[in-house]
Structure 1
Amino acid sequence: MADPSTYRPSPGEIPTSPGVYRFRDAHRRVIYVGKAKNLRARLSNYFQNVAALHPRTAQMVTTAASVEWTVVATEVESLALEYSWIKEYDPRFNVKYRDDKSYPYLAVTMGEEIPRVQVMRGKKRRGTRYFGPYSHAWAIRETVDLLLRVFPIRSCSKGVYKRAEQTGRPCLLGYIDKCSAPCVGRISPEEHRDLAEDFCSFMAGETGRAVTHIEQEMKQASAELDFERAARLRDDLAALRRVVEKNAVVLPDGTNADVFAMAADELEASVQVFHVRGGRIRGQRGWVTERVEDISDAELVERLLEQVYGDLAETAGTAEEAGTDVAVGTEAVPKEVVVPVLPENHTEIEAWLRGIRGAAVRVYVAQRGDKRALAETVHQNATQALALHKTRRAGDLTARSAALSELTEHLGLPESPLRIECYDISHTAGTEQVGSMVVFEDGVPRKSEYRHFVVRGPEGHGARDDTEAMNEVLTRRFRRYLAERDGMSADELDAVEDGEQVEAGSAGRREKRRFAYPPQLVVVDGGAPQVAAAHQALADLGITDVSVVGLAKRLEEVWLPGEDYPAVLPRTSDGLFLLQRLRDEAHRFAITHHRKRRGQGMTRSALDAVPGLGPSRQSALLKEFGSVRALREAEPEEIARVRGIGPALAQAIAAHLQQS
């Protein structure tokens, strides 16, 4: 634990301007981001007597090893910068709201030539209109099934659509009039897009126009004695009304608002929001957060608004540059934001939201009337969500704390292992070896930090056994850590990097590839030989502050370096269970990558034997030159222009290809 006085800046160095500050630990990892109207006044609060600080604040300042700040012109700028830094660095001591479930949305892919309606989860995509969120996917499908009678737009997958184009026959929905079948030319792409626009308008709340239009057509068909068409329109009208009735009017003045409510205690907070559009509830979401910061309810609300609407600011900026429309129903910033507690800087928040929405936004606490009643209903939902969350997680939180304490005691660790890395080797009959690295922080998986390693061995043809492979993987991982710790340049880091990959789908790839943050504990899958190999790899690199243990599968024995006998943890131990979870996760991750390579034929490219040339760089080279043959004819200077390929590596590639 660091003494805050060792890195406290002198008061005269700190400006009195607004700004954003960052606390970093001894490994230069950002652990806390904050903002202030007056940087000097705010930072001075952190450097008072540690005993007088809140326990969580005291833990943060004693974990930190340095503090730095950036001055900005206005408080609105500090709000935006704080949000972007929290998203970039993911500081462990900042409040982070987590969705209490993965919510499905009704999505219309307006960015495609033939828009498609479907259920979507996860990250929002550019050019797609979203409506929701809904509590259940079946609720979306039920709504879509009713609306396809009136707005028969495409809902099939790309494969089904392409097959229908090739055969000239529509799918079943085309035959039962729940799709206008643009795949076979029944309707033109322009007419289908107009139909999709009408669908989006209806979902956005413009229901009256569609209902009135169908009523008029029904009356006209009846007057023309076309009773069959009138009957179909009557059924369409009934379907529309059932959809409208599902969204009861809660605010008679047709208000567009997001109504937030919060239930909190000293440790956690639960937040719920009702998205009200056109006076009707169009969606609901919930978040839960651990109160890792010593902040008030008003500050919790401020952080919540930053997180909820911050992504919209980035999406709007990206879409504006690309010239696309990103109005996404309930995700757009509404005219009114009703909160349980008014943040102190609500004026700056309103200005920030106005910049995102392009029009005035009011942030306030509802005091009376229908909005107050609705806010109380949302608060009841938040209270119930917090109670349910505590019921589900009480055992988990207790077990995680007990597990880390037991490992510290039984393994004789100098400090609690807040970050643990586990390594495993997978191969086929000794060939095609791959290594995996999984990371647990505070007892839970940190999947964005997972890594794969392709084991190459001393001569580029694989390691002789698991111990040599384990030594190579640990050496590559911690050599990269030392390089980044010592501030090597990007080209030098590329020369050090040797084939590691981020797990597919993880965001922020460039930042997440960083190895600059070491673990307190390394766990290897195996017994005394594997532990000795891992310990030797660290010793050769001069790393003495990382503990190493191994978990042998047969008897679940825990091995420590240099010990003749394993440590025995009780079978019911939470610490042993945590080690087993780590080992099993590393094994799963290694096997998954190994099977993927095997599914791709595990063909060895002419580039595989080039030291330091991993799969990501091979892909970049083949993408640039098109083939190994074209790459063989290229000059080293041309090869060095590819991103991630330095001059030395380019020379090695050219020399290897000339010899092969």
Structure 2
Amino acid sequence: MVELSQLVEEKLGLLPDRPGVYLMRDSRGRVLYVGKAASLRNRVRTYFRSVHRQAPKVQALVQHVADLEYIVTDSPVEALILENNLIKEHRPKYNVNLKDDKTYPYLKIDLQHPFPRITVTRSAAKDGARYFGPYTRAGAVNETLKLLRRIFPLRTCSDHVLEQGKLCLNAHISRCPAPCQGRIGREAYAGVVKEVLLFLEGKGDDLLARLYQRMQEAAENLRFEEAARLRDQIRAVEDVLAGQKMVSTGLEDQDVAAVAREGSLACGQVFFVRGGKVVGREHYFLTGTEGLSREQVMTAFVQQYYARVDLVPGEILLDAEVEDQEVLEEWLFKKRGGRVYIRVPRRGDKQKLVEMVHQNALAELQHHQLSRRKEETMTTGALEELKQALGLIALPQRIEAYDISNILGTDTVGSLVVFEGGRPKPSDYRRFKIRTVSGPDDYSAMKEVLLRRFSRLRETPALAEDEQKGFPLPDLVIIDGGKGQLNAARAVMHRCGAGHIPTFGLAKEEELLFREGDPDPLVLPRESEGLRLLQRLRDEAHRFAVTYHRQLRDLRQKRSLLDEVPGIGPKRKRALLRQFGSVTLMREASLAELEQVEGMDKKTAKSLYDFLHNKEG
């Protein structure tokens, strides 16, 4: 029998008979589970009645609950939206979780910008931009981006380059309409953006009709070069549409979703049907599904998936029923701005389509399981090889690698990356902006990084206490470099009380491993899985350091001309660029036009006008 804390007992008695969201926390305050309910009182109390009859997962959850928290909402739909946000924020252990969408890229078109471009981003926000995705394969988003840039002439340069008004290579080869030079106005550019949106929304027929009309108008007005370009654009779009599989003789817009499950892992697959054709598909993995019904897993998938996407069609076909279907449909109605029907077809062509999607989900899941087993076998073998070759006492489950990056001593940075169980653990990556070293001195920079990593050991020598802080000591340290870098690192580690941690330098090119006090390098066979693991680790540390170095360098160099104008701060700068798009076009504006920009006053507008025209000369 599970004994509830007095706090939980008291809160169970206070639960209102209202819709809302509840959070269950453990003794350390961590969120274990987030749920929604039409009646908080009725739903939450069911967890604590006849616990021995509950599913094993629920029993395990209840045993760890030390506190309850609830939030009352005005409706079940509001509860659903809040539940989505809290699951995404906390990623509770006992919830079904769609794989962290921070790893999935989106295509973004910032409609607030006068001349938007298409960019790839790792997160979607409610900022007035349109987001398409998430794409579960980085290759898929890159292929789509490449295709869009080939078919549609939009700018690809950064806002900083656009501000400067310099003509780019893409403009010379007719792949950019050169808004920086005023060769295209905002209205015409918005027309191209509209065509990109039609393409991404799967509205191929609408797009072709629009392009045909523009081509005919260009030909009738004797703009033959423009008509020829539009003809080529039409052919490119037709080639893409011809490769899409027809699954319906009607012209429906549908999403077709199915979930396949094996143990605690499930795969949700979605096919996007637009105008009766499959225009794309994506799959996602869900964890924490053990002990749940098909309906519960499907509900979690539908809820979390559609919380992440912008485009919702009028019909969603599923291979399993969902809980609270009316609430889900009402939520989707608000998201889409129109009616959405969730259906589970039992016969006919729609049922066959759902079954096809289910088979694809099953194939993805089996492929993932096979790849994971193969990877685990290779990883275990690699760790065992390293243990033997490096003379370690135990398997190096946690390995840390360090690297330094700079160019001629400027913007020097250090990186720390962590592999646990042979796999990257990005949440434990750390980056260091070097504070005490000037000039190209990698040895001193490495000393600073290691000192900042291990210095607290002098104050807190107990390893257990260090581990309680959530950042345990490594079983193995790899330094990117040869004897010099290794000796610099080891000197600091000994001073900090970390000298007992096995540490090796991995030199590039010949891939030699250096150990403190050993004049001869250790050479692992080229085909060794252990060496390959160390190479991946070293390369990841290098990538992470170089990325940070470039960020700092770009930040230093990325100063706009506008930053030199007194009275022009970040808000006014954004407003000016929204209005004009670039400094070149700003220079062509009259003083009165500058004064009309949001947030500008006459004095600042006059300063800007004088500055721009003095710079011109």
TM-score by length of 1: 0.59
Deviations, residues 411-464 of structure 1 (Å, cap 9, x unaligned): 899xx999x57374859999999665444566532313322345768xxx9999
The one-letter code of the counterpart of 1:271 is G
Deviations, residues 607-630 of structure 1 (Å, cap 9, x unaligned): xxxxxxxxxxxxxxx999xxxxxx
The one-letter code of the counterpart of 2:70 is T
Unaligned regions of 5+ residues in structure 2, if any? 38-42, 480-485, 507-511, 517-523, 557-568, 572-617
Which of residues 470, 474, 478 in structure 1 aligns to 2:454? 474
Alignment partner, residue 581 of structure 2: none
Instruction: After TM superposition, list the pairs within 5 Å mapping 1:407-486 onto structure 2.
Output: 420=398, 422=400, 424=402, 436-440=415-419, 444-453=423-432, 470=450, 472-475=452-455
Alignment partner, residue 588 of structure 2: none
Instruction: After TM superposition, list the pairs within 5 Å mapping 1:108-187 onto structure 2.
Output: 108-116=109-117, 118=118, 120=120, 122-124=122-124, 126-130=127-131, 135=140, 137-138=142-143, 141-142=146-147, 145-146=150-151, 148=152, 153-158=153-158, 166=166, 171-174=171-174, 182-187=179-184
The alignment status of 1:250 with 2:247, answered yes or no, reads yes
The alignment status of 1:309 with 2:321, answered yes or no, reads no
Which of residues 14, 21, 24 in structure 2 aligns to 1:22? 24
How much identity, in percent, do the aligned residues show?
Answer: 25
Give me the whole-angstrom Cα distance separating, in 2, the residues matched to 1:84 and 1:451: 27
Give me the whole-angstrom Cα distance separating, in 1, the residues matched to 2:412 and 2:223: 72
The one-letter code of the counterpart of 2:316 is V
> How much does 1:193 deviate?
1.9
What is the number of equivalent residue pairs in this alignment?
Answer: 519
Give me the whole-angstrom Cα distance separating, in 1, the residues matched to 2:352 and 2:243: 20
Give me the whole-angstrom Cα distance separating, in 2, the residues matched to 1:308 and 1:336: 15
> How much does 1:284 deviate?
1.2
Residues 586 and 91 from structure 1, CA distance in 2 versus in 1: closer, same or farther, beyond 3 angstroms? Answer: farther
The alignment status of 1:35 with 2:29, answered yes or no, reads no
CA contact (8 A) 2:422 2:533 kept: no
Alignment partner, residue 470 of structure 2: 517
Instruction: After TM superposition, list the pairs within 5 Å mapping 1:471-550 onto structure 2.
Output: 472-475=452-455, 517-519=470-472, 523-525=476-478, 549-550=501-502
Alignment partner, residue 354 of structure 2: 375
The one-letter code of the counterpart of 2:301 is L
Residues 537 and 576 from structure 1, CA distance in 2 versus in 1: closer, same or farther, beyond 3 angstroms? Answer: farther
Instruction: After TM superposition, list the pairs within 5 Å mapping 1:311-350 onto structure 2.
Output: 311-312=308-309, 331-350=310-329
CA RMSD of aligned residues (A): 6.0
Deviations, residues 21-50 of structure 1 (Å, cap 9, x unaligned): 233365x544x32315421222557x6599
Instruction: After TM superposition, list the pairs within 5 Å mapping 1:592-611 onto structure 2.
Output: 592=546
SS of 1:154 mapped into structure 2: coil
CA contact (8 A) 1:107 1:120 kept: yes
Which of residues 526, 539, 542 in structure 2 aligns to 1:588? 542
The one-letter code of the counterpart of 2:23 is Y
Residues 548 and 456 from structure 1, CA distance in 2 versus in 1: closer, same or farther, beyond 3 angstroms? Answer: farther
> How much does 1:273 deviate?
0.4
The one-letter code of the counterpart of 1:373 is K
Unaligned regions of 5+ residues in structure 1, if any? 313-330, 486-514, 540-546, 560-569, 603-621, 625-660
> How much does 1:253 deviate?
3.8
> How much does 1:370 deviate?
3.0
Which of residues 279, 282, 286 in structure 1 aligns to 2:283? 286
Residues 297 and 88 from structure 1, CA distance in 2 versus in 1: closer, same or farther, beyond 3 angstroms? Answer: same
The one-letter code of the counterpart of 1:33 is Y
SS of 1:84 mapped into structure 2: helix
CA contact (8 A) 1:109 1:129 kept: yes
> How much does 1:338 deviate?
2.0
Give me the whole-angstrom Cα distance separating, in 2, the residues matched to 1:389 and 1:427: 36
> How much does 1:533 deviate?
7.3
Give me the whole-angstrom Cα distance separating, in 1, the residues matched to 2:548 and 2:156: 33
SS of 2:502 mapped into structure 1: strand
Give me the whole-angstrom Cα distance separating, in 2, the residues matched to 1:440 and 1:84: 29
> How much does 1:332 deviate?
1.8
The one-letter code of the counterpart of 1:519 is P
Residues 577 and 347 from structure 1, CA distance in 2 versus in 1: closer, same or farther, beyond 3 angstroms? Answer: farther
The one-letter code of the counterpart of 1:250 is V
The one-letter code of the counterpart of 1:190 is E
Give me the whole-angstrom Cα distance separating, in 2, the residues matched to 1:231 and 1:456: 59
TM-score by length of 2: 0.62
SS of 2:115 mapped into structure 1: coil
After superposing the two structures, state which structure 1 stretch, 67-76 or 429-438, moved more: 429-438
CA contact (8 A) 2:383 2:530 kept: no
CA contact (8 A) 2:103 2:122 kept: yes
